[in-house]
């Protein structure tokens, strides 16, 4: 996962899978190639996480605790009202 160092927001998630369907860890070079071109590479960090299946953004909001470099998963209340950006 690639995240913004200033606020811990995940900006990109990538998963590598081999021919047998097993996940494997990206190299640092591969990670740098995945950073979208409009994002300054110095402003982002990366974290590796073992997730069976990345959770849906409708179920979990993921971010990074930038002081500890750990993944934070906040479960979303499915019954809560949906926020509207106006």
Between 17 and 52, the higher pLDDT residue: 17
DSSP 46: E
Measured distance CA(11)–CA(34) in Å, rounded: 11
**Residue pLDDT, tens place only, 46-75:** 888 766 655 655 677 888 999 998 888 887
Do residues 61 and 76 touch, judged by C-beta distance below 8 A? yes
How would DSSP label each residue in 48-73? Answer: ----SSPPPTTTEEEEEETTTTEEEE
- pLDDT value of residue 5: 93
Mean pLDDT for the chain? 79
Mean pLDDT of the region 15-40 = 83
What is the band of 25 on the pLDDT scale with cuts at 50, 70, 90? confident
Measured distance CA(13)–CA(1) in Å, rounded: 5
């Amino acid at each position: 996962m690639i995240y913004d160092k200033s606020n811990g927001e995940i900006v990109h998630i990538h998963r590598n899978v081999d021919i047998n369907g097993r996940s494997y860890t990206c190299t640092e070079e591969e990670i740098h190639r995945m950073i979208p071109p409009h994002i300054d590479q110095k402003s982002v960090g990366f974290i590796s996480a073992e997730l069976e299946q990345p959770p849906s953004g409708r179920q979990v909001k993921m971010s990074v605790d930038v002081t500890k470099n750990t993944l934070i998963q906040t479960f979303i209340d499915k019954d809560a009202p949906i926020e509207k950006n106006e």
